[in-house]
Structure 1
């Protein structure tokens, strides 16, 4: 049987630390996976994993993993990867654990926050994150970027998918307005308005994510793909820990 475990790395002071659930409201968690399927989020995850280029045996942390969908996409593409999912939502992690056991895949899940990534210094090959960074405030964003740099080995890569990005002519990850990502326009109004109105999303606009990673010390931070939707633009940003 595949090994699945949940650990809690929160300090006693963090037990009551607030966070925004993946669906915006705690009561929506039972419907979250169905909503993301309708939204075509799987296509975003598949594109992110393709861009990341994860290889057998590499160590990957999925920041803001929620119910584990990006982690499972990593494992589907590269079963030999060693994947850890990080999220503050214990209920979402327990749901992810049940899904992992049903799939028969090995997955480590850690309850904690984006500013403290599970991993020793220079121990990770990849940090990935999908539609989670806009949940994090300014201080948390800066701390996340710095800690990702700490945890990645030299030459290790970070891949972030989130709302925002520049209005540029890079490759359209959706490929066409009739593809699976186009289904995102069917998201419930609550989720669309959260994406449009969340003030933290504004920090992702323009080169916000690129500048965040460059400021932390990453090399070659850039947008590598994007997808455009009725409710907003999704950007794929990558950067690399410098090799000294």
Structure 2
């Protein structure tokens, strides 16, 4: 799993990578779910934050702009999207460390980060790589650190399930079936996380984007208000 061989490019094809930001913004209610994810994460000044599968850096840049003084790293296995992200960060005046690597073998020390974020990434992975990735996220989080994920979630009915077929045709049925079956909370629990919950469901043109929160055990527990669904 080392290197970049075998990666799935943004939108499935390298030729479509330059269109990624525009397509995601138009089809997934990106501003809504990423703003909600950052609000949920409750990042504090001085914390270390990792965005796994950061793509073109939209979420990582927003995380730093929301909380000045936060140290943000973004990791992706696709050098093309990292180059776009680095350019966007320079234009935004954001100091983001963009790192090339695999989610299943994160190039970071144990217990380095206070928050790990991920958006629209897990549905690209097989169940085995999902589990490896979740375990790596758990490893690099500090005790009581939190995982916050936005990704395609359990179908809400026939309409959303039918709409999600377009995503599955593009990204593959094998990797997306876990998401649409609502299995990500099971995954996070299997990786060692506690207090795993789906906190919100956001309808989009292609299905439901679910927000998830999970906590690494250890240290003093943080007081948080309960999340709701929408």
Equivalence for 1:69: 58
Aligned match for 2:176, one of 201, 213, 218: 201
CA–CA distance in structure 1, aligned partners of residues 169 and 181 of structure 2: 20
2:198 aligned with 1:223: yes
Equivalence for 1:176: none
Evaluate the alpha carbon distance shift between residue 154 and residue 37 of structure 1 in structure 2; reply closer, same or farther with a 3 A threshold: same
What does 1:14-25 correspond to in 2, within 5 Å?
Answer: 14-15=2-3, 17-25=5-13
RMSD of Structure 2 on Structure 1 (CA): 2.3
What does 1:137-216 correspond to in 2, within 5 Å?
Answer: 137-165=126-154, 167=156, 193-194=169-170, 198-216=173-191
Equivalence for 1:173: none
Deviation at 1:126, TM superposition (A): 0.6
TM-score of the superposed pair, with normalisation by structure 1: 0.80
SS state at 2:10 partner: coil
Evaluate the alpha carbon distance shift between residue 204 and residue 190 of structure 1 in structure 2; reply closer, same or farther with a 3 A threshold: closer
Runs of 5+ consecutive residues of structure 1 not aligned to the other structure? 1-12, 169-184
Deviation at 1:229, TM superposition (A): 2.6
Runs of 5+ consecutive residues of structure 2 not aligned to the other structure? 158-162, 220-230
CA–CA distance in structure 2, aligned partners of residues 134 and 239 of structure 1: 18
SS state at 1:14 partner: coil
Deviation at 1:190, TM superposition (A): 6.5
SS state at 1:15 partner: coil
CA–CA distance in structure 1, aligned partners of residues 202 and 133 of structure 2: 24
Deviations 1:34-82 (A, max 9, x none): 2222233122111110111111011111011111011112112112211
TM-score of the superposed pair, with normalisation by structure 2: 0.85
CA–CA distance in structure 1, aligned partners of residues 121 and 173 of structure 2: 12
